[in-house]
Structure 1
């Protein structure tokens, strides 16, 4: 037997471009420290992001997920955040 894994995964979020202008989008990459399943848009917190996230796609290893972020037009805010509800 082995002990149960009682710790959740950790995640790191990176954007290909963090200074978007009107009409631009960027790739959001979410890397987990272990494979995850059933991860979808409802797990991503965009409350303070001023934009939308496209469909999440997983790499074969289940640790790296990507999606396209589209910012809200006419918003200039350097405090925008994207997070994962772990």
Structure 2
């Protein structure tokens, strides 16, 4: 899976779209499959494109935390 953020330099009050793209159609993919341990934020509901390969959600950073090493992963 490839994970991209529309904006990688968020400030307090901002959100960004997270896009997760798979090589093949994925079913049953949920937020529980996403690793946010080092993300310092929350992820909104996932939405799948019609092809089932591209998924998006809104990421909201935690207020008052500044950390350039945040990560988002997928538990494959």
Q: TM-score range by the shorter chain?
A: over 0.9
Unaligned stretches of 5+ in structure 2?
none
Q: Deviations over 1:28-51 (max 9, x none)?
A: 000000000000000000000000
2:36 to 37, 43, 46: 46
Which of the two has higher C-alpha Rg?
Answer: 1
How many residue pairs get matched? 76
SS in 2 for 1:36: coil
- What TM-score do you get using the length of structure 2 for normalisation? 0.99
Is the counterpart of residue 56 in structure 1 residue 46 in structure 2?
yes
Unaligned stretches of 5+ in structure 1?
1-10
Show structure 1 runs of 4+ deviating over 3 A.
none
Task: Report matched runs for 1:6-85 at 5 Å.
Answer: 11-85=1-75
CA distance in 1 between counterparts of 2:18 and 2:44 reads: 10
- What TM-score do you get using the length of structure 1 for normalisation? 0.88
RMSD: 0.2
